[in-house]
């Protein structure tokens, strides 16, 4: 078994695409619009061609009765995000911060063995970058 897809809710797929492609550096995997205007938009890291992150508007298959609650949680930044592992978290932090992305946490050494930082994407989702620390 292996992970193939995971999904993030976003308010605006175009803004999310610009952030994840142009700021984070992910590749566009799929971008198609199907029936009723539903847009299937996925991105992923170049080094993991078999992993796709769906950037989804709140809608089907989520029941309409839950849309308002999910929109409110997304607006507050209360939904889960993603974590990317890379070689140099400090360099990535500076590159992403330079774009004006909202900083949640500057790079810091964590007790659980990584150096990481955090931002919000345009919809409020948390995105973290981490680098494993070498054992001393």
| 102 has a pLDDT exceeding 80 | yes
Q: In the structure, what pLDDT confidence band is assigned to residue 135 with cuts at 50, 70 and 90?
A: low
pLDDT of 136 reads 53
Domains in the chain, CATH or no CATH each? 5-132 (3.10.180.10)
pLDDT of 99 reads 96
Chain segment 31-70, per-residue pLDDT in tens = 999 888 889 999 999 999 999 999 999 987 888 899 999 9
90-94: Cβ within 8 A, 24+ apart: 90/115, 92/117, 92/129, 93/117, 93/129
């Amino acid at each position: 078994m292996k992970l193939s897809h995971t999904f993030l809710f976003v308010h605006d797929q175009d803004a999310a695409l610009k952030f994840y492609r142009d700021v984070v550096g992910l590749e566009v995997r799929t971008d198609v619009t199907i029936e009723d205007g539903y847009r299937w938009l996925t991105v992923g890291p170049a080094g993991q061609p078999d992993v796709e992150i769906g950037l989804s508007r709140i809608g089907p298959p989520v029941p309409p009765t839950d849309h308002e609650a999910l929109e409110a949680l997304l607006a507050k930044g209360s939904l889960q995000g993603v974590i990317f592992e890379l070689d140099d978290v400090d360099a990535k932090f500076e590159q992403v911060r330079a774009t004006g992305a909202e900083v949640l946490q500057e790079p810091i050494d964590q007790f659980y063995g990584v150096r990481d930082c955090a931002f919000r994407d345009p919809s409020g989702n948390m995105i973290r970058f981490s680098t494993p620390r070498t054992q001393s």
